[in-house]
Amino acid sequence: MMQLKNYQTIAIDELLGKAKKLLSYTDNKKLIFKAPTGSGKTIMMAEFLKQLCEDKEIKTPLSFIWTAPRQLHEQSKNKLDHYYEPSRALRCSFFEDLDGKRIDQNEVLFFNWESINKEGNIYIRDNEQDNNLSNVLANTREEGRTIILIIDESHHHATSEISQNLIKDIGPKLTVEVSATPTLDGVADERVSVQLEDVKAEGMIKKAVILNPEFKNLIKDAKVQSQLSKQSEEIVIELALKKRKALKEAYAKEKIDINPLVLVQLPDRKTSLEDVIKDKVIAILKDKHKITTENGKLAIHLSGDHENLENISKADSEAEVLIFKQALALGWDCPRAHILVLFRDWKSIVFSIQTIGRIMRMPDPDYGHYTNEILNFGYIFTNLDDIAIQEDIARDYITVHTARRRGDYAPLRVPSCHSKRHREKTRLSSFFIKVFLQEADAYGLAKKIQKKSKGMSVNFISDFKAESVDALVGQTITGNKGIKMTGFDLQKYFDYFVRKNLSPFHPEDRSIGRLKEAIYYFFDQKLNMKYEDVQEEVVEMVLSEENIQHFVNVIDQTKTKYRDHVSKREKELDYDDSWDVPESISYSSAYAEIDHKFKSIMQPFYCNETSIIERAFIDFLEKQSHIHWWFKNGDRDAVFLAVPYQENGDKKPFYIDFIVQMKDGSTGLFDTKSGLTRQVAGPKIDGLNAYIKEQNKKGKNLFGGIVTNTDPRKFTGRWIYFNKDSKALTVSNDNWENLVF
């Protein structure tokens, strides 16, 4: 089971809080959940529904209806079945699976939205078995259950008139619309959104999708015009397969058995042209590249033509190319898909996050991004003449420009650092088990607990009599008969105990299982009681009145020690001992090419919202005859250069603004500052100075510091820099040096 990411736990908590609030009102409400393609919308919804059912503040039993377009409801049901398999928290059903023509408590009814909308549908109209939606809803409400409607991929159908009427007929207490691109006119009582940057940062999706790499793309009248548009279909396919080969080799170097997949997408509209394009692609693949359906390297997913699809989603599937249509692939999940190919027969297309969704996912979300950057991107190859990029999150996700490192670059090979990714703030890692056993020893748990438990029982009130209602005033009525708890009920109570004691860690299945495992290890190692052999006895001992507080105490101490461990790890950095300027950098359509920047090591030089002082500094660098090249550094992950510095005892990466290579072989590291106080800039100054001194001792030839201009408004004065101890930094800049190259 995939571990929940930090952004997922935050979104689930927000969904839960807002859903509970909306359910408390008397009238029906709507909640919109916006999450990018590849962020794990279905998993987040599955965990949200589970926690909603288990929440003690929800006083009425819940039943759910999950609708989706095309065949996506079947895929969603399979995912939720798998997710709920360990806990059995909810039951997932189709119409034919319902017992008693009703949706039971904590049951999810899945159906296809288009088919339910069709006039005369068997599930809508009256039939001899009374197995229609109206009857099912009436039976469900009659048993006192609240109905919640989930509309998956809501942008496809939720806003149509017939759909709105159907929603009214269902009459859910709460409607949750789920989409990567909800309609702008969708009126909602509450909204929950997941940001694309958070999904990328967790390594769930690729860093970006690059449009026509190796070819120059121009933006004119908000449309992308590419040099590749002049090329033939044979060339487009050849380029895609060449990139596929490079990806395959990169995976092999990482010792990862993944066979990257090329997607050839045909237009959705059904015309005779579809068969012409399909036959042409098949012929090119067979004659030029020996890729056929017969040898298993080609798969087809078209209406009435399904070939080699059985293992298409497996990482090591033989299929190298898949011909498909977007309409048929809605919700289709194949994380090894890396490359998308489209031909000019499309005439024109608007690239949206839905269009590129099939190549956004990372193959292994738990692993995240790879060391080799080529594997962290998706690629589009197309000879389309007219490409528009939708003004949704795709605008910043699709990169249309690529700058490449100049051929006269000599390796720097200098150390760099970046922040480690930490996923332990809201979930438990295996280290928790080790800490639990240590704390159990320190507490003396094995000696303090009672070895022979009386078992667990629940009391209920039996044969209670009162002479009148008045006689009950002020009385406490307690259960007088007990039933011993065993089997499934005992295990459910144990699950509740573990979940309750996990806070502040998120009660996802992985963390619940981790705490259970810690307790089982304790009994195995300290009391020689193997959980597999004496399962019920172990659980009874934990939950018994004599022992339960001791386990609560040890769990609490373990959480404190574990949080301290996580806090220390958050301050750690990852180091790269041999950083170099990246070979290429991709940019979205929000960036523009800046002409006449001949000394930039990256060509062409693209710029977005560079600050005024940075622009002025670039103009200054271009005029210096002793400079070989300069590099405008970025501010993220391991791609760009960062030096370590300390602030309030924590180590952090400092991404300097500029790297300047001199013709004499020395290298300058500069960060432009405008109006920063010593308090803000001081730790970074000291970090940069320490880095330069340390590297020069090892034979490097570095210099630099923070740089500014004596004219803080127009930047037409002298350029000066500061490379001393931060304690010497003054507001007057009187001890700064002139920057002369």
User: Which parts of the chain have pLDDT scores under 70?
Assistant: 1-2, 114-131, 155-163, 183-186, 221-222, 268-271, 326-332, 345-348, 354, 391-393, 421-427, 453-489, 568-571, 675-680
- The single residue listed with the structure tokens 């548009």 is 229
| Short-list 736, 606, 728, 714, CA closest to 670 | 736
d(CA 193, CA 406): 41
* pLDDT reported for residue 417: 94
User: What are the backbone angles phi and psi of residue 470, rounded to the nearest 5°?
Assistant: -60, -30
Pairing type for strands 208-211 and 667-672 reads: unpaired
CB-based burial of residue 674 (10 Å sphere; 0-12 exposed, 13-18 middle, 19+ buried)? middle
User: What are the backbone angles phi and psi of residue 377, rounded to the nearest 5°?
Assistant: -130, 155
| Short-list 356, 363, 361, CA closest to 395 | 356
d(CA 3, CA 20): 25
Q: Per residue in 326-346, is it b (16+ CB within 10 Å) or e — as a string?
A: beebbbbebbbbbbbbbbbbb
Q: What are 579-607's pLDDT values in tens digits?
A: 999 999 999 888 889 988 999 999 999 99
How many other C-beta atoms lie within 10 A of the C-beta of residue 625? Answer: 6
SS3 label, residue 641 = coil
CA separation, residue 572 to residues 6, 417, 419, 569, 588 (Å): 18, 10, 7, 5, 31
Q: What is the full DSSP assignment across 255-299?
A: T-----EEEEEEPSS--HHHHHHHHHHHHHHHHHH---TTTTSEE
Q: Domains in the chain, start-ordered, CATH in brackets?
A: 6-199 (3.40.50.300), 205-405 (3.40.50), 431-462+475-570 (no CATH), 575-738 (no CATH)
CA separation, residue 263 to residues 30, 287, 343 (Å): 37, 19, 12
* pLDDT reported for residue 481: 46
**Residues 194 and 37: beta-carbon distance below 8 Å:** no
* pLDDT reported for residue 721: 93
HEC string of 672-737? ECCCCCHHHHHHHHHHHHHHHHHHHHCCCCEEEEEEEECCCCCCCCCEEEECCCHHHCCCCCCCCE
User: Which amino acid, residue 21?
Assistant: K
User: What are the backbone angles phi and psi of residue 302, rounded to the nearest 5°?
Assistant: -130, 160
664: CB partners within 8 A, 6+ apart = 626
pTM: 0.74
